[in-house]
Amino acid sequence: MYSKLADNLFVSNSTEQTPAVAMGDDNAVQVDWTVISYSGSGEITVTVQESNDLQNWSTVGTDSISAVSYNTFTSPDQTSPGQRVASAYVRLQITAASGATAVVAAGLNSASL
């Protein structure tokens, strides 16, 4: 199921988290994200995090770019059999490194593999 999580999200030398998405019976996600506007010299990073209690989060995948761009990635990496999202919830953490400012849009598709 597709969930749009960020639309024109402004990040500047900071980290923002999107709302959590319930995974239901799904165990993998594909993230699509677009850097709509970018200035500076640092990377913009999108991290997929998982949690069972909405308090404690762990990383299950990450991707970075440093330009106006569109990108997708699968989390966990599907080339690693047996590695799956094992928690009830996922969210995206979007980080602009020191010296970077960006406007970002992001969403994710969840699926059962």
Contact residues for 51 (Cβ-Cβ < 8 A; gap 6+): 20, 57, 58, 87, 88, 89, 90, 91
pTM (global) more than 0.85:
yes
Predicted pLDDT of residue 8? 94
pLDDT in tens, 3-43: 999 999 999 999 999 999 999 999 988 899 999 999 998 89
Beta-bridged to residue 39, according to DSSP, are: 101
**Domain ranges for the chain:** 2-111
pLDDT in tens, 44-84: 999 999 999 999 999 988 888 888 887 777 765 554 444 57
Q: What angle do CA 14, 17, 21 make, to 5 degrees?
A: 165
| Token representation of residue 28 | 């993998």
Nearest to 62 by CA among 76, 80, 81, 50: 76
C-beta of residue 60 within 8 angstroms of C-beta of residue 75: yes
Q: What is the CATH number of domain 2-111?
A: 2.60.120.380
C-beta of residue 26 within 8 angstroms of C-beta of residue 85: yes
Q: Is the pLDDT of residue 97 over 50?
A: yes
